A = this chain, B = another copy of it.
């Protein structure tokens, strides 16, 4: 038989056979996740027994040890730790802040130091306040109006955007770059409205950066709760000369060693083709990192467990990677990608869950149009599970360094409406995660990984099979 014809027949067979078998497998993954899942129980342990897991903390190290032992218990072919050096920033004692509208007339307000910030003087920092709606206001105001003051970044997340992640992207520059920018105009500190669409009393931390700014120029930065931001803004209108006092004792130490946690099922036919599923093991220190990203960690572990539990033997190598240090450095994601490159590993597909443990709606993909066409052909398989969102654009921070022109990256996209109510705040706790929503996410991820295991990449087929 002509080789081309043979290949075409194979291709036809591959295209024709799937539907029923695929649908049955996928149903099995959902059924098992919902009736005999481990993700929720694992999340209970990770959040309630271990708790917060900031890089370089004891919690992070306990999470490394425990997830490794949990992966050991499910009978994978390999489980190992990958060393990675991470930053170590420590909050110190609880922050304190107040608004003083006149001598002796004060209002306490909830704040939290931004991750990476320097401390205030130990007695606190007290100054006049200037409110801005964003970094671009600084140049308009100029040094004269800013010097010696605390800059209050108060642009709220845009409520009419349907994706709360889009609203977050439109605001987070205030948090990340605000201190560095304000310092160039002589500001002495910055207070940033929490990245939260809801009005409440939780300050939300998150990464900030001074870039390569000289140490002498670095000014302390804190987030203030949305309710308190509204109050400060209101009081500033009544009394522009009010003062703001805040104290924080945070400190950056030398980098320390930590680990990515990795487990894998070796592929039975194409062991060299690697499919990654992961989330990040570190979390901010305020809550228990339940949605961010305990959910992604346990869902990723569950993908491999569901394969084992349902007796599905993958053709390709399926690797779960629990990344260290997504929140304030991305060292785990970079270390993993560097190691993959050094070892000449062929990563065909990677999926990250790092958008909360809410009801899954679908995925976003970083891929070519060819690859996306294949993905779209799988949509009907997901319809019974109300998975409808398949769009190009974006995957996950930890896997992004793996991108090359051949492979496909994806991110799970759960319902985003409640995510920023909890993100990086004290209330990112186990009770905010619904068992079924978490389990549906795990099954949805498993189904996509299964389809990539079954069909591989469009672009890696021999050229005769394409068209």
- Does A384 lie within 8 Å of B34, measured CB to CB? no
A385 touches B (CB below 8 Å) = yes
Contact with B along A378-391 (1 / 0, CB 8 A): 00000011101100
Quickly give the copy total for this chain.
2
- Does A361 lie within 8 Å of B386, measured CB to CB? yes
Q: A31 contacts which of B160, B389, B421 (Cβ < 8 Å)?
A: B160
Q: Which residues of B contact A384 (CB under 8 A)?
A: 162
- Does B417 lie within 8 Å of A34, measured CB to CB? no
A359 touches B (CB below 8 Å) = yes
Check A35/B160 contact, CB under 8 A, given A359-B415, A388-B388, A440-B417. Answer: yes
A418 touches B (CB below 8 Å) = yes
- Does B436 lie within 8 Å of A197, measured CB to CB? yes
Within 8 A of B (CB), among A128-172: 159-160, 162, 164
* Shortest CB distance A427–B (Å): 12
* Best-buried of A160, A164, A197, A440 by chain B (most CB within 10 Å): A160
Within 8 A of B (CB), among A359-377: 359, 361
Q: Which residues of B contact A313 (CB under 8 A)?
A: none
What's the Cα separation between A70 and B330 when bound, in Å?
A: 52
Within 8 A of B (CB), among A15-49: 30-31, 34-35
Q: Which residues of B contact A159 (CB under 8 A)?
A: 34-35, 436
Q: A417 contacts which of B197, B359, B418 (Cβ < 8 Å)?
A: B359
Q: Which residues of B contact A62 (CB under 8 A)?
A: none
A252 touches B (CB below 8 Å) = no
Q: Which residues of B contact A421 (CB under 8 A)?
A: 434
A437 touches B (CB below 8 Å) = yes
A85 touches B (CB below 8 Å) = no
A435 touches B (CB below 8 Å) = yes
What's the Cα separation between A415 and B440 when bound, in Å?
A: 12
A88 touches B (CB below 8 Å) = no
Check A385/B162 contact, CB under 8 A, given A415-B415, A417-B440, A440-B417. Answer: yes
Q: A389 contacts which of B198, B386, B435, B440 (Cβ < 8 Å)?
A: B386
In the complex, which residue of chain B has the Cβ closest to the Cβ of A420?
A: B436
Contact with B along A400-424 (1 / 0, CB 8 A): 0000000000000001011001000
Q: Can you list 24 A-B contacts (CB < 8 A)?
A: A30-B160, A30-B162, A31-B160, A34-B159, A34-B160, A35-B159, A35-B160, A159-B436, A162-B384, A162-B385, A162-B440, A197-B436, A198-B435, A359-B359, A359-B417, A361-B386, A386-B388, A388-B388, A388-B389, A417-B434, A417-B440, A418-B436, A418-B437, A421-B434
A: which residues have CB within 8 A of B? 30-31, 34-35, 159-160, 162, 164, 197-198, 359, 361, 384-386, 388-389, 415, 417-418, 421, 434-437, 440
Known: A417-B436, A418-B434. 10 other contacts (CB 8 A): A31-B160, A34-B160, A162-B385, A164-B436, A359-B417, A386-B388, A388-B389, A415-B415, A417-B437, A417-B440
